[in-house]
Amino acid sequence: MLQDIAHNSIGLVETQYYAFPQEAGEFRLSSGQNLPEVTLAYETYGQLNPAGDNAILILTGFSADAHAAGRSKGDPERIGWWDSMIGPGKAFDTNQYFVICSNALGGCYGSTGPSSIDPATGTPYASRFPTISMEDIINAQHKLVCWLGVTSLAAVSGASMGGMQALQWLVSYPDMVRGAIPIACSAKLTALALGINEVCRVAILADPDWRGGEYYGKSVPQSGLAVARMAAHLTYVSAAYLESEFGRRRMENFSESARDLGTFDVQGYLRAEGESFSKRFDANTFLTLFQAIEQFDLNLHEGGLEGALARTTGRVFLLSFSTDWLFPPYQLAELEVALLHVGAPVSHISVETPFGHDAFLTDWTKIDPLVRAFLDARP
Amino acid sequence: MLQDIAHNSIGLVETQYYAFPQEAGEFRLSSGQNLPEVTLAYETYGQLNPAGDNAILILTGFSADAHAAGRSKGDPERIGWWDSMIGPGKAFDTNQYFVICSNALGGCYGSTGPSSIDPATGTPYASRFPTISMEDIINAQHKLVCWLGVTSLAAVSGASMGGMQALQWLVSYPDMVRGAIPIACSAKLTALALGINEVCRVAILADPDWRGGEYYGKSVPQSGLAVARMAAHLTYVSAAYLESEFGRRRMENFSESARDLGTFDVQGYLRAEGESFSKRFDANTFLTLFQAIEQFDLNLHEGGLEGALARTTGRVFLLSFSTDWLFPPYQLAELEVALLHVGAPVSHISVETPFGHDAFLTDWTKIDPLVRAFLDARP
């Protein structure tokens, strides 16, 4: 499934950090609160043209960092999470486009978030980090993109929370977006997704190391984070994928009498996923971004979903996955209908795949030709 | 949706307890271990006929007790969990049948389980409670049923883990079962179900009050149990049900800035479900019965699934629910195929319902006429 990265690779890249200029004042959030300092982690691939209009902005999902393509300079074994799609000659072709990937505000991979130092106190924000909305996340990106010299975006694209950001770009900066490829996302979470989120949230809060979010410098709520990730991870894959990949295969040396440990491979796989995540992710960021995702609802705009998307001028290409139960294809069909109604050029393809939500990573060969066709057809 | 229990009610009932006679010796488990003392909690409704062959055995799901019908004598507000289906003139008609409901071995509602006193130590078994299989659960029921004077079962029926028990009756005591109605169950859990179980298990183990299962007399792992139940509960309902029942309705007095608390009704509903469950259920029983459910796999029998069911002589009526994602209809279709191959009279109806797995409780009006038709057609 993984592409041969020896070919078409953009090579070593280094994550950059853009600190908003202090003279611009505080960064105003949609809640009315301000952030005195904002830094965004980002990477760029390819060259911006003199007109500043050949840029493609890649938006991260919930747990991804800004390292979307190439090998990390500090750790060459670390290949970008969407390296399959970004590079010279690839779907997001860095020979043609200036590709930017920015980590989300509120995150824990170099962008300002709850683990950042609050200049007012000299200690991490922790529970005092303000509420962040999807609008805030893309408003911060907008500043970054403008500072980079971009005048117009050939495309914005991302999956999951990244797709929500792409939609928010259409709402907030319609004149700047010539194309959008929101993938496996929606204008609002389903009730089931809200329910699963609550399982994750309560799992973190149940960890005594959570301490109301004030755990920096102490033991972190790792076991709660692991449980949360296990629950969330199940929504990223499909029942069919788990069945064909793991079925009821036993772990080696399993013990049927071990009541406190699952004996099946799929259970070991999930535990490993939870454990590795819990070592690299920040619990306050988890809850901060979950909140942004849950509160995101374009239907709440004046005029509803159509009102929100009414100013869309770019072309929109919606991609859903047939077995995605976190963002079922019908949710993208709802977006398609709204975009049709407001007169925006829109296509929606529900890709047949057994891989579920994560198909944008694991079944990328199916979306690669579709994304190429969409981008090539641009005026 | 709830039936008018003023009519056709069997009135006040009291849970009974059957302690296996000591002269019969220890109860041998399929693991090879023995239980020195076994008690089963049960209720009966209706009268056994002189031939002892008008009995219907109702099998409990994972978290149900033996109180399946009528009002509890000790607490008349407590109506049996399947009172909609059991009573005079109801689908399981107590004017015709002697209906028995037995709580599972390993449970925490009066049947011997991890919270029972180990006669060897005078303290609860806790982590020393042996591994229990689905076979052990129904072997214990078999002793109860025989002691009650039953010679032949007109039907065995149950949903979820209760359906697995019904299948195990067909495998272990085929000559005693004239009819079986396994509902929303399967010959084995899917990989997705195993994965969700692991989320629940790890959530319990992550609770510092778990103490390796040695928590009796101390604080119990309530927060872990609550998270586990929240995750499990989502599998009992369908996405469509959650969407229509809750959608994205907000809680009253919600605060968008409350990051550590979901603001949607569906989230409050789940938390309440988790909390109430955590006060009434035993964590060791949770893991004991989960293990029995996970290890249950009729395909592992000699001759596979068909080999397991080969001695079936009774008629079998399989009921699945169109929106059940814990036990998808295809799993009951697999059972149907195997039963056809071994020449057993079998029907399978996949009931169209938005309610998901719990439709056997919440959409009982749809299965009521089907169960009546099946039972009435008995020779």
Q: Using CB atoms, which residue from A127, A191, A325 is nearest to B242?
A: A191
Round to whole Å and give the CA distance between B80 and B64: 10
pLDDT < 70 regions, chain A = 1-8, 256-257, 378-379
Question: Is B338 a domain residue?
Answer: yes
B210 to chain A, closest Cα gap in Å: 11
Question: Which CATH number covers residue A359?
Answer: 3.40.50.1820
Question: Is B42 a domain residue?
Answer: yes
pLDDT at B7 > cutoff 80 = no
CB atoms B190 and A131 under 8 Å: no
Catalytic residue among B116, B160, B186, B320: B160
Same domain? A99 vs A240:
no
pLDDT at B301 > cutoff 90 = yes
Residue that finishes a domain, picked among A257, A289, A321: A289
pLDDT, residue A260, reads 74
pLDDT at B111 > cutoff 70 = yes
Round to whole Å and give the CA distance between B172 and B176: 9
Same domain? A282 vs A313:
no
Strands B86-87 and B92-93: parallel
Question: Is B155 a domain residue?
Answer: yes
Same domain? A220 vs A334:
no
Same domain? A111 vs A52:
yes
pLDDT at B2 > cutoff 80 = no
Neighboring chain A residues of B224 at a CB cutoff of 8 Å = 206
Interface contact A227, partner B, CB < 8 A: yes
Question: Is B335 a domain residue?
Answer: yes
Residue indicated by tokens 């805030």: A136
A63 is known as an active-site residue: no
Catalytic residue among B136, B207, B324, B363: B324
Question: Is A3 a domain residue?
Answer: no
In contact, A319 and A370? CB cutoff 8 Å: yes
User: What is the mean pLDDT of the segment spanning B159-175?
Assistant: 98
User: What is the mean pLDDT of the segment spanning B186-210?
Assistant: 98
Question: Is A7 a domain residue?
Answer: no
B160 is known as an active-site residue: yes
B147 to chain A, closest Cα gap in Å: 30
Burial, A219: exposed, middle or buried (Cβ in 10 Å; 0-12, 13-18, 19+)? exposed
Average pLDDT, chain B: 95
Domain count for chain B? 2
In contact, B323 and B354? CB cutoff 8 Å: yes
Q: Which helix (H) or strand (E) holds A156?
A: strand A153-159
pLDDT at B259 > cutoff 80 = no
Same domain? A65 vs A95:
yes
User: What is the mean pLDDT of the segment spanning B321-347?
Assistant: 98
Question: Is B206 a domain residue?
Answer: yes
Question: Is B225 a domain residue?
Answer: yes
Same domain? B235 vs B324:
no
Residue A105 dihedral angles phi and psi, to the nearest 5°: -55, 140
Same domain? B225 vs B273:
yes
Question: Which CATH number covers residue B210?
Answer: 1.10.1740.110
In contact, B83 and B9? CB cutoff 8 Å: yes
In B206-261, alpha helices (H):
222-236, 239-245
Residue range of the domain that includes B157: 12-191+297-376
| Nearest CA among B326, B236, B219 for reference residue B273 | B236
Residue that finishes a domain, picked among A254, A289, A324: A289
CB pairs under 8 A between A and B: 178
Name beta bridge partners: A56.
A99, A155
Residue that finishes a domain, picked among B289, B323, B352: B289
pLDDT per residue over B38-77, tens digit each? 999 999 999 999 999 999 999 999 999 999 999 999 899 9
Residue A369 dihedral angles phi and psi, to the nearest 5°: -65, -30
pLDDT, residue A378, reads 56
Same domain? A180 vs A204:
no
B379 to chain A, closest Cα gap in Å: 39
User: Which strand ranges, in their side-by-side order, compose the sheet holding A16-19?
Assistant: A16-19, A39-45, A98-102, A55-59, A153-159, A179-183, A315-321, A346-351
Count of CA atoms in the C-beta half-sphere (13 A) of B369: 3
| Nearest CA among B101, B116, B102, B109 for reference residue B38 | B116
CA angle A344, A348, A352 (to 5 degrees): 175
Confidence of residue B379 (pLDDT cuts 50, 70, 90): low
B209 is known as an active-site residue: no
* Furthest CA-CA distance within chain A: 68
Same domain? B98 vs B247:
no
pLDDT per residue over B72-91, tens digit each? 998 999 999 999 999 999 99
Same domain? A39 vs A180:
yes
The DSSP-derived string for A71-130 is EESS-TT-B-TTTTTEETTSSEETTT-EEEEEPPTT-SSSSS-TTSEETTTTEE-GGGSP
Residues 154-183 of B with CB under 8 A from A: none
Q: Tell me the whole-structure pTM to 2 decimals.
A: 0.95
Round to whole Å and give the CA distance between A200 and A192: 13
Round to whole Å and give the CA distance between B70 and B67: 8
pLDDT, residue A30, reads 96
B37 to chain A, closest Cα gap in Å: 20
Same domain? B184 vs B204:
no
Round to whole Å and give the CA distance between B187 and B185: 7
Interface contact A251, partner B, CB < 8 A: no
Round to whole Å and give the CA distance between B59 and B46: 17
User: What is the mean pLDDT of the segment spanning B306-334?
Assistant: 98
pLDDT, residue A255, reads 74
Same domain? B353 vs B284:
no
